[in-house]
């Protein structure tokens, strides 16, 4: 039998004759349990906040989006459309146009994006499912769907025929302008729906028919500014992107949803790492108690260690006793902390004890990845602490 492991287990579960050592050991154990619990709960909270934050972009951004490498627009032929339909893994795609324009209503004005969409847009993008009021626009009409933020700023209601909702788009060309009519293409739009996704997006877009948008921008019928794709979840994005670029002779760039929100993903990852490092530092400070407890245990068991040394035990085996004792304490403490943390996370998910607003519970996500991260952190730091403490067992100490 491995006698260092046997003795280490005995030391963990048996009380010392010195009550101070027992108290220090309990404090060290509680520090490990609380550290594991806190780290797991915080990581679960940030996982929940990550999912919550990305839910807005997931509702609006497509799986893939193609934009021209240079300029604002590009041309797409019927042949290219048919080739896109044949790509394995592409469920659907929608041709779009995005352009900053001026909207006016009842003396109020705002610059926002006019987004022209075709009939396939609803099958690619979830915006049509996020209507706050009204219904989604019909193709080949002057109907538009506006954001809740735009509706508030301009005081735009639905089907208000007394005050026209107008859009002004600068005309392309050169030369002197003698009147506003020469400078802008103008059209009266009919708001039929109001969408609500997030504060930023609600003030950014007005959805209109693709043909109407092409007309306002003086585009040709096959001229667009982008293509949005919906793909199967189990397909290779890189392979699909390569095929799309090949169809357009590499004149476009295709971005994934993560690339479209690179700043948001980077911010969330940075916050997650920062919080992990902060709580890891707290655990490191708590593990100083473990080092102190093990050193006190070494001094308390000094006579026993001398006896084992005289019976033929090697110094490395004596050190191994306390290395194993500290590591086992870290393992047991980590497991208990994770069990308690899991109970707290599951309780919040089921019973929603903590609320951000009266209708929005604080988001938490249970993840096995977080369990592995916390357990690996606790055990590895506990091992290092135990290694430091066990190095105090020397021939000089036992001489």
Closest by alpha carbon to 234, among 370, 66, 63, 95? 63
100 or 309: whose pLDDT is higher?
A: 100
| Partners of 361 in the β-ladder | 355
State residue 181's pLDDT score: 62
State residue 85's pLDDT score: 92
State residue 12's pLDDT score: 83
pLDDT, tens only, 148-161? 999 999 999 887 77
CB count in 10 Å sphere of residue 4: 20
pLDDT, tens only, 236-248? 899 999 999 999 9
pLDDT band at residue 175 using 50, 70 and 90 as cut-offs? low
State residue 232's pLDDT score: 92
0.75 exceeded by pTM: yes
- Please, what is the average pLDDT of the chain? 89
| Partners of 105 in the β-ladder | 108, 165
Distance (Å, rounded) from C-alpha 102 to C-alpha 80? 33
Q: Which two tokens stand for residue 371?
A: 């369990």
pLDDT band at residue 114 using 50, 70 and 90 as cut-offs? very high
Instruction: Give just the sign of the alpha carbon dihedral 145, 148, 153, 158.
Output: positive
- Is the pLDDT assigned to residue 182 strictly greater than 70? no
State residue 174's pLDDT score: 61
Contacts for 119 with CB less than 8 Å, ≥ 6 apart: 139
């Amino acid at each position: 039998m491995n006698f260092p492991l046997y003795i280490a287990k005995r030391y963990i579960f048996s009380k010392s004759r010195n009550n101070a050592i027992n108290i220090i050991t309990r404090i060290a154990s509680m520090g490990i349990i609380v550290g594991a619990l806190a780290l797991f709960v915080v990581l679960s909270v940030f996982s929940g906040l990550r999912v919550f934050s990305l839910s807005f972009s997931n509702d609006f951004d497509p799986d893939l989006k193609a934009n021209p490498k240079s300029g604002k627009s590009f041309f797409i032929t019927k042949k290219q459309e048919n080739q896109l339909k044949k790509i394995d893994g592409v469920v659907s795609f929608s041709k779009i146009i995005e352009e900053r324009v001026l909207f006016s209503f009842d003396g109020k004005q705002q610059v926002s994006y006019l987004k022209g969409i075709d009939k396939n847009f609803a099958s690619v993008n979830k915006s049509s499912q996020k209507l706050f009021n009204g219904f989604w626009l019909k193709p080949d009409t002057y109907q538009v769907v506006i954001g809740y933020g735009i509706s508030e700023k301009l005081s735009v209601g639905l089907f208000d025929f007394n005050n026209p909702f107008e859009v002004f788009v600068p005309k392309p060309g050169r030369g002197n302008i003698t009147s506003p009519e020469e400078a802008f293409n103008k059209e009266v739009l009919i708001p039929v729906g109001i969408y609500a996704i997030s504060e930023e997006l609600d003030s950014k877009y007005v959805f209109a028919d693709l043909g109407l948008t092409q007309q306002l921008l003086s585009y040709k019928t096959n001229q667009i500014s982008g293509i949005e794709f919906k793909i199967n979840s189990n397909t290779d994005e890189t392979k699909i992107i390569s095929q799309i670029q090949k169809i357009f002779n590499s004149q476009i760039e295709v971005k994934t949803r993560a690339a479209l929100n690179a700043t948001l993903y980077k911010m969330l990852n940075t916050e997650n790492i920062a919080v992990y490092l902060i709580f890891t530092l707290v655990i490191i400070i708590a593990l100083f108690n473990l080092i102190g407890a093990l050193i006190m245990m070494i001094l308390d068991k000094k006579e026993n260690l001398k006896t084992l040394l005289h019976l033929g035990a090697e110094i490395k085996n004596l050190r191994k006793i306390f290395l194993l004792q500290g590591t086992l304490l870290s393992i047991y403490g980590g497991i208990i902390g994770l069990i308690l943390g899991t109970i707290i996370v599951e309780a919040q998910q089921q019973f929603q004890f903590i609320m951000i607003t009266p209708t929005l519970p604080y988001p938490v996500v249970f993840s096995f990845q977080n369990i592995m991260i916390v357990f690996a952190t606790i055990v590895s730091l506990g091992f290092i602490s135990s290694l430091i403490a066990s190095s105090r067992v020397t021939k000089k100490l036992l001489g």
